[in-house]
Every structure is written in C-alpha cells, then in structure tokens.
C-alpha cells in the first residue's frame, strides 16, 4: 500500500468521524476541524505524491498553490464577515461552487477523452462524465437561484402555466441525449455534450424558480446532496478514494436530511418539488375571514407575566436572526432562570432559511443543547407552559396549516403554541411571513402582539424584569 493510499484512507476516516461528531453540538466544532484536517492531508498528498501511469507528477505548483491561497483567503473572509442572517445565502453559494467545480471537471475530462481516443471511448467513463456534468450543472444553477431568493435579489417565485411539463420535458431530453451520446459516440456528436450542458443549466434554473420560500430549507438540503453525488462522480473519474468517500458522505447526508425534513413537514419530496409550497399563493384565512382583532401587550405587562411564570417556552424564527437578537434572548433566558422560571426553546425543523438555522443561531450564544426541544417534544410541553414567546417566527406557528384547507401550507405540522396559557408574538409589523400568507394566530384570544425589533424589545424586556 503506497503512502498516498494511506493518506487517502486517513482522510476518509476523518470525514466519517467528523460527520459523526457533527451530530452532537458538544463535539460539532471539533468534528468540523477534524474533517478539515483530513481534507488538508488528502490535498497535500495529491499535490506532492500523485503520479500518473507514466510516473509523472502534477507540477504547476505555482498555479495550484496560487489557486489554493486565493480560495482560502476568500473563503476565510466570507466566513468571518458573514452575518448569521446571511448564513443560508453563503451555504447556497458555496454549495453552488461545488456543483460548478464538478461540472467543470466533466467538461475538462470530456475534452481529454475526445482528444485521447479515435472513434471509441469507455462507456462507463463517458457515463460518469455525463452524470457529473448534469448533476453538477443542476446544482450550480439551482443554488444560484436559491441564493438570489434568500438574498432578496429575486423577489418573486417565477412560474407559468405548464412549467412542470416543460421541466419534465427538459429532463427527459437531457436523459435521452445522454443515452444517445453514450451509445453512439463519435467526433461528429460532440456538440450534443454541450447541448446537454446548457439544458442542465436551464433545468437547474427552472427547477428552483417556482419553489416558494417555505420550502427553501428543503431545496438547500437537496441541492447539497446533488453536489455530493457530483463530487463522487469526480472521485470515480480520478479513482480518488477520498474524493469518492467525501462525495458519498455529502450526498447521503443531504439525501437523508431532505427526507427527514419532508417527513417533518408531512409532505413527499415530489410534492415539495412540484407544489410551489409557500409561493405566491394566498390563504383565504386571516382577519378578513375571522373578523378578529389584534391585541397588543406592553413591555411591563410582558415582564410581569414572564417573571411570575413557572415555565416559559421561546419559539425562535428568522426575525430573531435578522435582528441578531440571539445574545439578548440567551440573556433573557438566564435572567428568568435566576428567578426560578423554567425556560426552553421550541425548534421547528424548517424554521429559518436553511436546515438547522435556529440551532446554529442559538449554539452561537452557548444555549445549553438540552434546552432545545424538537417539534414533537415541544408540542407535548406547550400545555404546561404559562407563556410562549414567539420571536420572529410566523409560518411554523400558523394554525392555517391545520385548519385552512385552502392554505398553501395546509398539512404542514406546526408548533402548537395555542396550547399554552398565554402567547406573546414579537414582530416588527403584521407583514406576512416567508410563505406570503396571513397568520390567524395573531387574532386569537390567547395571543398578544409585542411589536418592535426583536433585539431592542428583548433588551427593554430584560431591563423591565430587572426593575421588578
């Protein structure tokens, strides 16, 4: 066994161990560093030890390390400067770059394959090249649209009558042309490869365009799994074990996460992809149909209510991230705990803009993991809570998901906050959530609205409680 093979084995083991450690918040940071160290070992081993069939090493060290240096600087600065609210956008664009890399590998290797063969090629190699091209291109184009939606550059969900049939037609054309190219390869058919490339990019765009905001966490997870599969194709091409292992792990983890999130939303993946869930549809519910009125609550009344409560449950949402109020929220939690109040957090699987967004947000402030309740556990505990404080969450607590059959979110499991004795909702305004529909919860008898920026409201609330 050569030294490079041993280094690849070490890298693969660190990926597996790192992924295992990521499943626990207490070891997640160390797991991330361990996997990163394994990647460094694999990269350096490839650069200095790899030899082709003729015994030639890579060379071009200036170009290689120049690219690594630029990428490292850009990545480090982006990661350090990104705000927690922009984390989903960064995940999308980084994921898109992975897909683009896989597609470029396929483009380069196809040209090598064509120039190094006369009229015949290895069908297996050509199939893997096409698979990497298609999946990588779809992941890149789709991730860029997801980034645009999350970043606010794309304001509306783009859909038109018959779009689903057009998407299916493009996908079938991609698959048909790919099979034809593999079975009938010749220099004259090279243009088909680039047609497949363009159609794959187009499919990636049309695939994500109509998907609404409430489904964006699922889409990000799915595109991440696509990038992993595309990277695994590169591992097959280069017979690179560590690249293959990393791609398989990313693809499998992304796929499992996508399935789990779909199950948590009580929907199939097919329904997510073609349903435009949380898009530009409007619910027929809301104040106009119920005739309800909004009841406001003052900071002083909120402070008294929470101070003398036995149990308070906090429901974090994207509004908390926008206001960067996670530290103030943790301070409120500690203050209430010092007064003998039990405080817990109720986390919905698709709260925020990416998988685990709220968990990452709260972990940043060192909130104890045992205080984070998943949806099923939280729904069992709401009936024992004196106060539920909703901070910037909207769609994940909307009763329309259970009661309004005309609502685009009907059927999605929600946090059943109405089971608590009192519900206090902090929002900047009555503006609908990311799904674009009105929330009947705001008009219910148990609900009181506490308007304002989450960070300032929490800071003022902390002051009020301290003065009691």
Active site residues: 395
Q: Are 106 and 170 in contact (CB under 8 A)?
A: no
Lookup result for tokens 């979110």: 409
Query: Is the alpha carbon torsion for 76, 88, 264, 367 positive or negative?
Result: positive
What is each CA distance from 450 to 30, 152, 234, in whole angstroms? 39, 26, 53
Give which of 18, 26, 461, 449 is closest to 249, Cα–Cα.
Answer: 18
Structure tokens that stand for 374 in this block: 């998943």
Residue 402, Cβ density class (10 Å: 0-12 exposed, 13-18 middle, ≥19 buried): middle
d(CA 274, CA 123): 33
């Amino acid at each position: 066994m050569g030294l490079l093979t041993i280094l690849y084995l070490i890298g693969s083991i660190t990926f597996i161990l790192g992924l295992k450690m990521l499943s626990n918040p207490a070891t997640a940071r160390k797991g991330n560093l361990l996997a990163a160290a394994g990647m460094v070992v694999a990269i350096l081993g490839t650069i200095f030890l790899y030899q082709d069939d003729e015994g030639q090493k890579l060379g071009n060290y200036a170009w290689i390390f120049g690219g690594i240096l630029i990428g490292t600087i850009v990545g480090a600065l982006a990661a350090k400067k990104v705000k927690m609210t922009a984390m989903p956008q960064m995940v999308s664009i980084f994921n898109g770059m992975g897909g683009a890399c896989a597609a470029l590998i396929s483009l380069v290797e196809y040209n090598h394959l064509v120039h190094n063969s006369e009229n015949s090629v290895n069908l297996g190699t050509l199939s893997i090249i096409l698979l990497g091209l298609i999946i990588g291109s779809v992941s890149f184009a789709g991730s860029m649209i997801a980034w645009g939606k999350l970043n606010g550059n794309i304001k509306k969900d783009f859909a038109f009558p018959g779009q689903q049939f057009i998407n299916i037609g493009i996908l079938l054309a991609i698959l048909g042309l790919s099979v034809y190219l593999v079975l009938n390869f010749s220099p004259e058919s090279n243009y088909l490869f680039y047609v497949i490339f363009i159609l794959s990019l187009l499919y990636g765009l049309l695939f994500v365009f109509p998907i609404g905001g409430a489904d964006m966490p699922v889409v990000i997870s799915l595109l991440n799994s696509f990038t992993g599969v595309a990277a695994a194709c590169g591992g097959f091409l280069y017979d690179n074990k560590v690249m293959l292992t990393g791609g398989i792990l990313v693809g499998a983890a992304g796929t499992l996460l996508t399935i789990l999130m779909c199950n948590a939303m009580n929907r199939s993946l097919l329904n997510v992809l073609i349903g435009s869930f949380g898009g530009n549809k409007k619910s027929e519910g809301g104040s106009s149909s119920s005739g309800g009125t909004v009841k406001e609550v003052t900071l002083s009344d909120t402070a008294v209510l929470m101070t003398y409560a036995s149990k308070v449950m906090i429901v974090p949402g994207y509004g908390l991230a926008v206001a960067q109020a996670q530290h103030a929220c943790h301070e409120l939690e500690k203050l209430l705990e010092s007064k003998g109040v039990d405080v817990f957090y109720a986390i919905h699987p698709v709260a925020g803009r990416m998988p685990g967004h709220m968990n990452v947000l709260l972990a940043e402030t060192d909130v104890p993991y045992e205080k984070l309740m998943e949806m099923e556990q939280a729904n069992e505990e709401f009936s024992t809570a004196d106060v539920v404080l909703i901070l910037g969450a909207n769609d994940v607590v909307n009763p329309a998901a259970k009661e309004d059959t005309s609502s685009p979110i009907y059927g999605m499991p929600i946090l059943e906050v109405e089971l608590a004795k009192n519900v206090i909702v902090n929002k900047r305004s009555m503006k609908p959530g990311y799904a674009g529909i009105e929330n009947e919860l705001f008009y219910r008898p148990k609900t009181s609205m506490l308007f304002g920026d989450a960070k300032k409201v929490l800071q003022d609330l902390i002051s009020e409680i301290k003065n009691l």
